[in-house]
Amino acid sequence: MKLAGKTDVGRVRQENQDDYRAGELPGGAVWALVCDGMGGAKGGREASQGACNVIEQVFQEQYAQCGAGQEGAFLKKALINANRYVFNKAAHEESLAGMGTTAVCALVRGGEATLCHAGDSRAYLCRGGKLTQLTHDHSYVQELVDCGTITEEEAEHHPQKNIITRALGVDYRLEPEVTSVQLQAKDLLLLCSDGLTNMVPVEQMEQLLAQGPFYDLPDRLVDAAYAAANFPLPVVTVDLGTATTFNVVDKDRVFRGGVICPGLSTGLRALGGRCAQLPQVHLGSPKKAIGTNTESCMLSGSVLGTAVLIDGMVQRIEEELGSPATLVVTGGLAKYVTPLCRHPLAYDPELLMKGLALLYQLNAPQEHSRSHGGGRHYGQQGRPRAKHPYPNRRTRREPETLVG
């Protein structure tokens, strides 16, 4: 069983208010957790990190006592313990008043995934290329959908979409929701905050999850969403890492697919390690195409060859799209390659680390409220509050993605 995860601060805040944890357990089991903090810059960070620390400690110290059939009760206890920790900390530190966090936690063992959550962070099952939402949002708009007042489509753009009705740290009492699902071979479980689900349609997530190596999936989700939000469409992103990965988003913001090629450093290491008489070469930018010694020939073939690969592949992609595309290049090795590319491009060395920047576009109007202490509007026991002594706007901008 494999685990991969990613979180990001986004472009608006200086501090990440989300957190996640994951790990292996005895007997081939695994667990994963996503927390999405709220309550101001300091409060959101403290809430999510504190909840993650408590739940992780419960797994470390008490998982051995979790018998068969007790998975749901075990997870509920973990979230309740975290809730009390966050609530008590907020009650005793004035600067943290009003803080809270969503949480979605998964325990996978014996062919079954048990989920426990509070708030609107979600768990999805990807089976046969199709995503199915496993958790039920604890939010005001979800209640409106449940009672037939609005449709799911209307909920996506509802002005009170930011109101949640259950969260850790809001009240000393918490009733987390537990669900479970039987897993099959090749199933994929996705835990994420609304930083992903608000920005990337389910159809696009399905396409992204269906492509590429497993451990690249969080990066690809973040990469495509960020580029589509911040550059003219269509857009092609190229990540120059151990693999050279292309992602394509068309003019309608639909993820079309991508290309995966051997990475620059991977190719150089293969030449030096697998080919007789060829040395290991340190990366650098070749001065010209025609090398005059073994090292310069290898650099030209690898570095300039990668630039030519990008130019040629983007040209082919543009032909298939039927229009010019914006090229955005990222990755630690991009600095060697981008000066040699002939296609116009934007170089963003932190593209994958910036995450779903569309959060900024959606939440920018709320920044004025945030400057006066903006946070998230929430109630308890499934009922939204009309008023709250703490801010009534959500200000989270950080995406959180965990794939397991």
Q: Write down all domains in the chain, each with its CATH number in brackets.
A: 4-199+356-403 (3.60.40.10), 235-354 (3.30.420.40)
Minimal CA–CA distance to 200: which of 215, 216, 221, 220?
Answer: 221
| Average pLDDT score over residue span 116-142 | 94
Above 80 in pLDDT, residue 322? yes
Taking the C-alpha atoms of 198, 201, 204 and 206 in order, what is their torsion angle to the nearest 10 degrees? 90
Tokens of 374: 């903006």
| Average pLDDT score over residue span 122-150 | 93
Amino acid identity of residue 167, one-letter, is A
DSSP 131-147: EEE-S---BHHHHHHHT
Above 80 in pLDDT, residue 227? no
DSSP 264-288: HHHHHHHHHHHSTTPPP------SS
Tens digit of each residue's pLDDT (9 = 90 or more) over 34-76:
999 987 657 888 999 999 999 999 999 999 999 999 999 999 9
Min mean pLDDT across 10-14, 39-43, 61-65, 106-110 is at 10-14
Which of the two residues, 330 and 376, has the higher pLDDT score? 330
* Calpha distance 106→114 (Å, rounded): 6
Task: List, in sequence order, every residue forming a beta bridge with 238; answer none if it has no partner.
Answer: 246, 329
| Average pLDDT score over residue span 118-124 | 95
Min mean pLDDT across 88-92, 261-265, 367-371 is at 367-371
DSSP 296-359: HHHHIIIIIHHHHHHHHHHHHHHHHHTS--EEEEESTTHHHHGGG--S--EE-TTHHHH--THH
* Calpha distance 188→190 (Å, rounded): 7
| Average pLDDT score over residue span 253-265 | 85
Minimal CA–CA distance to 240: which of 317, 327, 318?
Answer: 327
Residue carrying the six token digits 């990668």: 306
Which pTM was predicted? 0.62
Name the maximum alpha-carbon separation found in the chain.
74
CA distances from 397 to 36, 125, 208, 224, 343 (A): 10, 24, 21, 17, 32
| Average pLDDT score over residue span 215-242 | 77
pLDDT at 197: 80
Above 50 in pLDDT, residue 362? no
Tens digit of each residue's pLDDT (9 = 90 or more) over 283-321:
788 888 998 888 889 889 999 999 999 999 999 999 999
What are the strands of the beta sheet with 235-240, ordered from one edge? 255-262, 243-249, 235-240, 326-330, 346-347
115 by Cβ neighbours in 10 Å (0-12 / 13-18 / 19+) ranks as buried
pLDDT at 385: 35
| Average pLDDT score over residue span 238-247 | 88
Those residues whose C-beta lies under 8 Å from the C-beta of residue 320, and which sit 6 or more positions away, are none
Burial 307-340 (b: 16+ CB within 10 A, else e): bbbbbebbeebbeebeeebbbbbbbebbebbbeb
Above 80 in pLDDT, residue 392? no
Instruction: Identify the three-state secondary structure at position 82.
Output: helix
DSSP state, residue 119: S
pLDDT at 14: 55
* Calpha distance 174→20 (Å, rounded): 20
Instruction: Identify the three-state secondary structure at position 403.
Output: strand
Which of the two residues, 233 and 53, has the higher pLDDT score? 53
pLDDT at 16: 64
**What H or E segment, with its residue span, contains residue 42?**
helix 40-62
Those residues whose C-beta lies under 8 Å from the C-beta of residue 325, and which sit 6 or more positions away, are 234, 235, 236, 248, 314, 317, 318
Instruction: Identify the three-state secondary structure at position 51.
Output: helix
DSSP state, residue 73: H
Q: What is the CA radius of gyration of the chain?
A: 23
pLDDT at 350: 63
